[in-house]
Structure 1
Amino acid sequence: MTEAKRYHPLTIVLKLWKLVKVSFVIAMYLFVIKFGSDSTFLIYGRIAFFVLIGVSVLVILLKWMTHKYKLDDASFHLYEGVFTKSGRTIPFAKIQNVNRHRTLFHRLFNVTSIRFETGLTGEEAAVEFEVISLVEADNMEKHATSPVPDEPATAHDGEAAAESYAEAVNPRRIVHFKPTKKDVVRASFTSLSFLVLIPLLASFYSKIDEIFPMKQEAKGLFSILKESWWIAAILLVVLIVVSVAFGIARTFVKYGKYEISSDSDRIYITKGLIDETVFSILKQRVQAVEITQSVLKRLLGLAEVKLISAGGLGDGEDELEISTLYPFLPVQRAYEMISEILPAYEVTREMKRLPAKSLWVRMLRPSWLWILSTAALFYFKPRLLGFEQTWWVLSVVLLIWIFVSRWLDYTNTRYVLKDNFIQFKTGSLTTALFVSKREKILEVKVTRSVVQKWLGLASIGTMNRAKPVRHAGIDDAPVELAESFVKWYMGRRKEIKVE
């Protein structure tokens, strides 16, 4: 592209739709619920509402007319400002990963959104196009992520582009994982998504009750359930069946079209049946890998693998999920997939445990949580079922839980230094296995308290590029490991590469 151009015209429609969604509740209150009210507050509120809507629409139109963009061989150039003009340049070299997202709106108009994440912070953290044609998104992604600019691709029609846009950037992809129906059902129970229906129904009831009071009807229903146990049993069974079906359907919509694939340079994660997200990242941009397991996942032999990247991962709840290589992978498959997708990374199951003296240090370390909680319980002295000594019982229970948690953390903690790799495993109920390469670690730290010095122990830590910066490490490790750790990191000088 040589000339700066405006964003897609449908950007106006999308922003107007978002404005309608944001103002819907206020409009319902002012013009439906309080219809016919002569309150001065409501009269001025309605006037202010129309003024704000008018100004918002005007700003949307002015932004579309004045905001422009263009690409050259090395950078994005973005031009913004309605009255005060400004411009910024984002080099392609700063791009860490690419995130595409297609909502129902995008599907209806056969378009997509694309977001180029960088390792920068603030306003320059990302380059985002909320609405863009599929063909232009493909060309833009190829142009921005390829070492050598490619010739623009063409498509015969939008339908063909819609079917192939996920493969258009690089057709030589290897598909590593697609969930089966069994995987989806197992994921629905593992994620406990069937429990979501109950709070949703409660929230729906409270909102309806605000508009149409239903307390009398609810009391009548509860009285019927008390008098007839078989009706209550039938309703309970129906609620369980509906909850399970809802959970499976919700999981299928979220993970039914999940796909993990890769080519020689990039990793691709596709998710979502209705709202589709396609996340891609250069393999060389992966800063570390993390394998997490909750108690339930450990019992079922499942694990969640996350890619740690220097770039942001999107907005909202997707920020925590989009870089995950499927949250419910069998453990063995998770280890195999890391080797397949990232051949440069090595994950070993054989790791060293902490010495016994590390357990004693952890058990005898003061717990400020217990001290402050006990002080608060002693001051307020709450009673449970009339029992006056409830406060010290709760204090003892909390202390036991702290000891159990520390013991679990000790038994789960593992470490290994192998060639140019480091692995940490930590956690009590939920465990996290952190794997990184020496060249990806920005900084290391070794600290020793007085007690640790007496016992020949130390705490070691690493810092990787991420948003926010990713810290990892273990406490109460042998001092010999700390010495080897520092020497190991000094070998980074021979491997460091400027990205």
Structure 2
Amino acid sequence: MPDAGAAAPQERRLHPWSWLFVLLQQLKQFIFPLVALLVFGGRGSRGGEWAALGPAIAIGVLVVISVVQYFTYRYRVGRDSLSVRDGLLHRTLREIPFARIHNVVVHQSLLHRVFGVAEVRLESAGGQKPEAQMRVLSLADALALENLVKHRGRAAEAGQAQAADSLLTLPLREVVRLGLISNRGMILVAAAFGAAWQILPEDRMASIFRDGFRQAFGYASHLQLGWLSTAVSVASLIVVAVVLLRGLSVLLALLQYSGFRLSEEQRRLMVERGLLTRLRTSVARRRIQAWTLQEGLLHRWFKRRSLRIDTAVAEQQNQGEQRALKELAPIATPAACDQLVQHLLPQAQWPREDWRPLPVGAWWRLFLPTAAVVALLAGVLSWRFGAWGLLALAWLPWGVYESRQHARRAGYALDTQLIAVRGGWWARYWRFAEIDKLQALRLSRSPIDRRCGTASLWLDTAGATGMAPPLRIRFLPEAEARALYEQLGRALARRRLRW
């Protein structure tokens, strides 16, 4: 308890410009309805003047809400916790212990940097939103609050502050490689297409595609190209599209990962990245629940991998950007990824050499979904086009080869500290977790498993996302699966869950 004679900490307000950033955030959320009301609202004969005034009235209401939020939002930095009070009619008081904060995010957009401010997000395990989102504080106050969370409310004394150890940096050439490997350009184009389809009328989008196809077909007919020239032209267009998409991916990688630096201080990991918008996020090492190493075909060409982690914090994206610390190494050499794992998990053995493969006959279980889909597709095409539809069955040999490759690479490894699985062929992954971080075990047997005498073991940890491959061991003989299930169950019963 604090001393009786000590002065109670005073409540503080956000930065005086915070109302402006709250307003801008609200305008981003309502920009499409406001634009639609402004463009389409005044076309009718009645009430056109009110429809024109609607956006101005809505913006005025948002300004009032932003100013009220500034005057009603207070926070107090205590000795071991942070108190946040907000609300005018419906008032809320939240007490957030520093020890319960899993992730700290300091976010600076280009506008934040112009005003010398930053947004701070404090996240704990679970929930759908952060425990506290301070929009905005001065940069000095934001960094001071981040420092308090790092040291659990005790400010670092002068001369005793420990410098952060740099674990990984990405020079410009590595960021460019990341852009060439990733498909961020394709994702952005797909998102823009989806947004245009939602905003514009459906008949308008259909007419755009129809007119564009007619113009392209008419231009090609006017040129009177032969089949070889047509094939070369189509191939050239595909190459140009691929180059443009990769260029867009490189540009996005430069904007998001320029100046990437992974550092460690007081057993807390911190990542700083971004060109125009700077993002600074940190998480305690003990909060890491699982690890994922991934490499695709382009990764192998460039001899690179990526290292991601799962943390037990709220999964929330802001404006399409994931702010929680999930990527320890967006791109790095396999040796650098292994060194990071060895440094952060010194008690575990990595890389593993004792992988236990799946049974030899497991490939046909992986082939079953492909065979079912191809057979259904061939039946539908045969009914529609006759015997030509049976050409879809030509995919079956490739499906057999692919399933064999997946089964050949799949496996698992287990010791007293770590459980690891690997899989994939075209795109490969290694996923592992400390046994102390496992929260549940599940032994699963489908009707086919009961027929074949096999079983699958699922292992659950906190913070797993849909992007990460599941932590599971499939198609084991039933006796082996049950023995592994009982072994892990006894280990979990003897140990304390390290959250």
Structure 2 CA distance, aligned partners of 1:374 and 1:87?
A: 60
Q: Partner residue of 1:178?
A: 169
Q: Residues of 1 paired with 2:82 and 2:108: CA distance?
A: 22
Aligned residue type for 1:336: Q
Q: Secondary structure at the match of 1:277?
A: strand
Q: What's the TM-score, normalizing by structure 1?
A: 0.79
Do 2:73 and 2:87's aligned partners in 1 also have CA atoms closer than 8 Å? yes
Map residues 126-275 of structure 1 onto 2, 5 A cutoff. 126-147=131-152, 149-150=154-155, 171-192=162-183, 223=219, 246-275=248-277
- Identify the residue that residue 106 of structure 2 maps to in structure 1: 100
Q: Take 1:382 and 1:67, find their aligned partners in 2: how far apart are those partners?
A: 66
Over the residues paired in the alignment, what is the CA RMSD in angstroms? 4.2
How far apart in 2 are the matches of 1:110 and 1:340?
36
1:69 aligns with 2:75: yes
- Residue 402 to residue 220, structure 1, CA distance change in 2 (3 Å): closer
Change (3 A) 1:8 1:353: same
Aligned to 1:356: 360
Kept in 2, the 8 Å contact 1:313–1:323? The answer is no
In 2 relative to 1, CA 8–424 (structure 1 residues): closer, same or farther, beyond 3 Å? same
Q: CA deviation at 1:97?
A: 1.5
1:484-499 alignment runs, 5 A limit = 484-496=484-496, 499=499
Q: Distance in 2 between matches of 1:148 and 1:200?
A: 42
The yes-or-no answer on 1:11 pairing with 2:6 is no
Q: Distance in 2 between matches of 1:262 and 1:382?
A: 62
Contact 2:103 2:313 in 1 (8 A): yes
Distance in 1, matches of 2:383 and 2:475, equals 37
Task: Find out whether 1:84 has 2:75 as its counterpart.
Answer: no
CA deviations over 1:281-313 (Å, ceiling 9, x no partner) = 111111111112223323433211111111135
Q: 1:426 to 1:284 in 2, by over 3 A?
A: same
Instruction: Determine the C-alpha separation between the residues in 2 that align with 1:389 and 1:238.
Output: 37
Amino acid at match of 2:391: V
**Equivalent residues, number:** 472
Shift of 1:433: 1.1
Provide structure 1 residue ranges, at least 5 long, that are not aligned to the other structure.
Answer: 154-167
The residue aligned with 1:160 is none
Instruction: Name the CA shift for 1:145/1:184 in 2 (closer, same or farther; >3 Å).
Output: closer
Aligned to 2:9: 2
CA deviation after TM superposition for structure 1 residue 357, in Å: 2.9
Q: CA deviation at 1:63?
A: 1.9
Residues 1:417 and 2:414 aligned together: yes
Cα deviation, residue 112, structure 1? 1.1
Partner of 1:282: 284
The whole-number CA distance in structure 2 between the counterparts of 1:320 and 1:414 is 32
Describe the SS at the equivalent of 1:4: coil
Give CA deviations for 1:33-62 in whole Å, capped at 9, x if unaligned.
679856326444224333322222222222
CA spacing shift, 1:274–1:495, aligned 2, 3 Å: same
Contact 1:30 1:42 in 2 (8 A): no
Deviations 1:340-392 (A, max 9, x none): 244344322321211213234444x5x3x764775577458676xxx544544
List aligned pairs for 1:242-391, cutoff 5 A: 246-312=248-314, 314-316=316-318, 317-319=320-322, 322-350=325-353, 351-363=355-367, 365=368, 367=369, 371=372, 375=376, 378=379, 387-391=385-389
Secondary structure, counterpart of 1:483 in structure 2: helix
**For residue 62 of structure 1, what is the amino acid of its counterpart?**
V
Could you give the per-residue CA deviations for residues 221-273 of structure 1, whole angstroms, max 9, x where no partner exists?
9859965999x99x979988776655444322222211111134111111111
Alpha-carbon separation, structure 2, partners of 1:109 and 1:170 = 28
CA distance in 1, matches of 2:49, 2:387: 57
Matches of 1:238 and 1:456, distance apart in 2:
52
SS of the aligned residue for 1:40 comes to: coil
Does residue 464 of structure 2 align to residue 460 of structure 1?
no
Confirm or deny: 8 A CA contact 1:138 1:169 kept in the other structure.
no
1:435 maps onto 2:432 in alignment = yes
Instruction: Tell me the secondary structure at the aligned position of residue 483 of structure 2.
Output: helix
2:403 matched to which residue of 1? 406
Contact (CA 8 Å) 1:357, 1:455: kept in 2 or not?
Answer: no
Which residue of structure 2 lines up, in the alignment, with residue 474 of structure 1? 473
- Aligned-partner Cα distance in 1 for 2:352–2:152: 36
For residue 444 of structure 2, what is the aligned residue in structure 1?
Answer: 447
Alpha-carbon distance between aligned partners in 2 of 1:256 and 1:449, rounded to the nearest angstrom? 47
Q: CA deviation at 1:441?
A: 0.6
Query: Residue type of the partner of 1:418?
Result: D
AA of the residue aligned to 1:439:
D
Tell me the TM-score normalised to structure 2 length.
0.79
Q: Is the 8 A contact 2:371 2:396 kept in 1?
A: yes
Instruction: Call closer, same or farther: CA 1:146–1:200 in 2, change over 3 Å.
Output: closer
Contact kept, 8 Å, 2:166 with 2:261, in 1: the verdict is yes
Supply the AA of the counterpart residue of 1:97. N
Structure 1 position 314, deviation (Å): 4.7
Unaligned 5+ segments in structure 2 are: 1-7
Partner of 1:40: 46
Partners in 1 of 2:223 and 2:366 — Cα distance?
Answer: 55
Conserved? CA contact 1:258–1:272, under 8 Å? yes
**1:46 & 1:57 partners in 2: Cα distance?**
18
CA contact (8 A) 1:100 1:115 kept: yes
Q: Distance in 1 between matches of 2:217 and 2:453?
A: 67
CA shift at 1:439, angstroms?
0.7
The separation in 1 between residues aligned to 2:192 and 2:316, in whole angstroms, is 29
- Which piece of structure 1 moves more, 465-474 or 487-496? 465-474
